[in-house]
């Protein structure tokens, strides 16, 4: 079952219901965030980095701790380029299915992997995106109590089911707006196409006047509103 048609409907409902999450940036600004989940991946992420390097774009990566430990030198390359790093859990486990202690351990293990690889202090890596976008009010309360910031999305083209490069690009261009957070994947599911998709998307988005910022920049914008 493809969930893509539901995301544009869910976003305006979930955003005011869970205001402690970051769902997007300033609607009066052309700043948008391009984000990638599930990496780093030894084949897909290097190809993506070449595209980002070519256009000199700063993106955002929500990493799985297990993938960081499998590809530490690649993770260091991403970090050294100045991309913003967030957490996606140690494994791709849905947060509501984990006990509080399991969730805390998952996030702390991922922070430790990033620290060991990139020398980023845990307090520098506290943006969390739940796998599959699944969370409960308790999940958000726990994350807030542990001083993490919950980051969601506004444009989800469901690239992980590989509907085709053209389809993914069209879906993004159809729904992108000022302040959008675009979610793509450079991991095992969907990552095969991510470099090609990104290479097509970036020039078209730039042509429309959008510019790319970090998730941290969108947080700063949200504090000013």
Enumerate the active-site residues.
37, 185
Give the CA count within 13 Å in the CB-facing half-sphere of 38: 21
- SS in 3 state form for the chain? CCCHHHHHHHHHHHHHHCCCCECCCCCCCCEEEEEEECCCCCCHHHHHHHHHHHHCCCCEEEECHHHHHHCHHHHHHHHHCCCEEEECCCCCCCHHHCCHHHHHHHHHHHHHHHHHHHCCCHHHCCEECCHHHCCCHHHHHHHHHCCCEEECCCECCCHHHCCCHHHHHHHHHHHCCCCCEEEEECCCCCHHHHHHHHHHHHHHHHHCCCEECCHHHHHHHHHHC
141: CB partners within 8 A, 6+ apart: none
């Amino acid at each position: 079952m493809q969930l893509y048609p539901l995301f544009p409907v869910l976003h305006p409902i979930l955003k005011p219901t869970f205001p402690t999450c970051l769902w997007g940036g300033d609607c009066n600004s052309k700043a948008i965030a391009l984000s990638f989940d599930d990496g780093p991946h030894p084949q897909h992420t290097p190809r993506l980095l070449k595209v980002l390097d070519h256009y000199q774009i700063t993106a955002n990566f929500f990493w799985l701790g297990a993938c960081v430990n499998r590809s530490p030198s690649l993770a260091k390359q991403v970090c050294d380029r100045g991309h913003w790093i967030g957490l996606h859990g140690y494994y791709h486990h849905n947060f509501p299915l984990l006990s509080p202690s399991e969730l805390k351990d998952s996030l702390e293990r991922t922070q430790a992997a990033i620290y060991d690889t990139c020398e980023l202090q845990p307090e520098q890596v506290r943006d969390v995106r739940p796998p599959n976008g699944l969370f409960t009010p308790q999940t958000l309360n726990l994350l807030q109590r542990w001083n993490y910031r919950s980051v969601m999305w506004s444009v989800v083209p469901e690239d992980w089911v590989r509907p085709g490069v053209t389809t993914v690009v069209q879906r993004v261009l159809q729904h992108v707006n000022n302040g959008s957070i675009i979610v793509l994947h450079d991991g095992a599911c969907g990552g095969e196409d991510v470099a090609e998709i990104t290479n097509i998307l970036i020039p078209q988005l730039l042509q429309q006047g959008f510019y790319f910022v970090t998730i941290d920049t969108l947080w700063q914008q949200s504090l000013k509103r």
